[in-house]
Structure 1
Amino acid sequence: MVDASVRLVDRGRVHADMGYVVDGYTMGSASNPNPDHEMGEFVVWNAVIDHPEGTFLWDTGSHPEAGDGYWPEPLYQAFSHVDAAEHELEADLNRVGYDLSDIDAVVTSHLHLDHAGGLRAFAGTDVPIYVHEEELKFAYYSAKTTEGSIAYLASDFDRDLNWNVVHGHRHTVAEDFELHHLPGHTPGVMGARIDLPGETVLVAGDECYVDANYADEVPLGPGLLWSERDWFDSLQTVKELERRTGGDVLYGHDLARFESFGDGWNV
């Protein structure tokens, strides 16, 4: 295995109703027709993969003005990145020992506004931005028409970026660093298998927001799910990778899971 590391970068907290994240979490019944809703606290994170072939940034988090009108108000009311202003990408990278200039390439798991809000830092540069073909298409379709999903903002990604488009189901970025297409949450979500000395990291990303999506196989709520059939198939892909490698599975927004991995792997 190559002597690489995966350093986790905490990008703040989102508050949202658990019903968005776990399908059927708060459902009425005959005996309890008006159940209380539960608000959850979720992490936004990035990762730096420090590899002999380059330094790769996984996602770029939210725009720091998410709560100051940059995100549409109805969306922010549903998913509130309450401390986005305290989590500028450059400052958060500095906190874990990296500068923006250290980043050789960016992998965008998908282009939702809590994952693509920092892409502006790479506009006008030659830094490769990896994105799946299906994601790039759907993001522009959503942001430029009244169709698709409201979770895409053209101002995040409609920029002078050096797109490196990923096709198909698997793509090798570097030795022992492989991307996997995991459609379901969106058409073009990507996860990863990263083999390190003595351990493997499996990035499930927003295929699984929280442990209930993975361990109990409960889908995301309807507002976060593009295709339940594809979501289930992608879940089995990640589970098969876990069976084969015994790797640690990193979810998209589960705070307890994120914190359980400390600073990351091989750091």
Structure 2
Amino acid sequence: MGDISVHLVDRGRVHADTGYVLDGYSMGSASNPNPDHEMSEFVVWNAVVDGPDRTVLWDTGSNPAAGDGYWPEPLYEAFSHVDAAEHTLEGDLGAVGYDLADIDAVVMSHLHLDHAGGLAAFEGTDVPIYVHEEELKFAYYSAKTTEGSIAYLASDFDRDLNWHVVHGDEHTLFDGFRLIHLPGHTPGVLGAHIETPAGDVLVAGDECYVEGNYADEVPLGPGLLWSERDWFESLQTVKELERRTGGDVLFGHDLDRFSSFGDGWNV
């Protein structure tokens, strides 16, 4: 197995009520019927996984026009990507030493609008876009009907893209880089186990938005949870991987956790 490095790419900040990501965080009680709500700052990130033969981009972030009417107003009111306009995919890749032309493949953890907003950069190219079968189905179901989730925008992913569909529970992208199906947040969330000389990396992604989802096993809020039962089972999958490998667990939007890993895992 050749050396693999993982470079983290900062794609900006989202402001949202903490109750969206930690179920019951600000619930009222008899003694405190009207508790204060807490707004938190969350990170949007991508990663570049540099392997011996391929350079892979993990997710594509938000569309820079998210705050200018591209995202539906009710959704942006709840999850405001306040600096999306300052974070183009090409510019943020450049900040960590990469160009769009360096990307040989893209892995989509899922197709929500804060992850799929940069897919247009790969339209009409032969760059493979890896996505789980269940995610692609649910994304189109949601975006093209009045059912499903409002967090999918057809304009993000209904394009001339070179889809490579992942089936089942696991898929080895290359030696040392394994994709893992983690349904719960959505039907088709993909996580990963990446082996680097600097240590193993376990990408939980939006299976766990923040530390509290992982350490305390507090589910995501109902608006962010497709299936609580599947979410809990996926959580145990990630925890078992951590027990076996001692790897670093990378959450979906936890700013402190993201910052603690610096530039990523590269030696």
Q: TM-score range by the shorter chain?
A: over 0.9
Of 4-13 and 190-199, more deviation after overlay is shown by: 190-199
Residue 2 of structure 1 and its aligned partner are, at CA, apart by: 2.6
Change (3 A) 1:97 1:198: closer
Distance in 2 between residues matched to 1:197 and 1:72, nearest whole Å: 42
Matches within 5 A, 1:45-194: 45-194=45-194
Residue 199 of structure 1 and its aligned partner are, at CA, apart by: 1.0
Residue 266 of structure 1 and its aligned partner are, at CA, apart by: 1.6
Distance in 2 between residues matched to 1:63 and 1:189, nearest whole Å: 20
Instruction: Indicate conservation of the 8 Å contact 1:2/1:197, yes or no.
Output: no
2:9 is the alignment partner of 1:9? yes
Report the AA paired with residue 5 of structure 1: S
Equivalent residue number for residue 246 of structure 2: 246
Instruction: Indicate conservation of the 8 Å contact 1:129/1:164, yes or no.
Output: yes
Report the AA paired with residue 36 of structure 1: D
Residue-pair matches, total: 267
Equivalent residue number for residue 30 of structure 1: 30
Residue 198 of structure 1 and its aligned partner are, at CA, apart by: 4.8
Question: Secondary structure of the equivalent of 1:30?
Answer: coil
Instruction: Indicate conservation of the 8 Å contact 2:198/2:265, yes or no.
Output: no
TM-score when scaled to structure 2?
A: 0.99
Residues 209-237 of structure 1: CA deviation (Å, up to 9, x unaligned): 00000000000000000000000000000
Question: Secondary structure of the equivalent of 2:37?
Answer: coil
Distance in 2 between residues matched to 1:136 and 1:102, nearest whole Å: 25
TM-score when scaled to structure 1?
A: 0.99
Change (3 A) 1:144 1:243: same
Equivalent residue number for residue 208 of structure 2: 208
Q: Percent identity?
A: 83
Residue 53 of structure 1 and its aligned partner are, at CA, apart by: 2.1
Equivalent residue number for residue 20 of structure 2: 20
Distance in 1 between residues matched to 2:145 and 2:3, nearest whole Å: 45
Question: Secondary structure of the equivalent of 1:24?
Answer: coil
Distance in 1 between residues matched to 2:219 and 2:131, nearest whole Å: 24
Residues 81-126 of structure 1: CA deviation (Å, up to 9, x unaligned): 0000000000000010000000000000000000000000000000
Report the AA paired with residue 23 of structure 2: D
Change (3 A) 1:198 1:77: closer
Question: Secondary structure of the equivalent of 2:220?
Answer: coil
Report the AA paired with residue 138 of structure 1: F
Distance in 2 between residues matched to 1:229 and 1:2, nearest whole Å: 38
Provide structure 1 residue ranges, at least 5 long, that are not aligned to the other structure.
none
Instruction: Indicate conservation of the 8 Å contact 2:106/2:128, yes or no.
Output: yes
Provide structure 2 residue ranges, at least 5 long, that are not aligned to the other structure.
none
Equivalent residue number for residue 234 of structure 1: 234
Question: Secondary structure of the equivalent of 1:43?
Answer: strand
Question: Secondary structure of the equivalent of 1:34?
Answer: coil
Distance in 1 between residues matched to 2:242 and 2:187, nearest whole Å: 22
Q: CA RMSD in A?
A: 0.6
Distance in 1 between residues matched to 2:175 and 2:156, nearest whole Å: 30
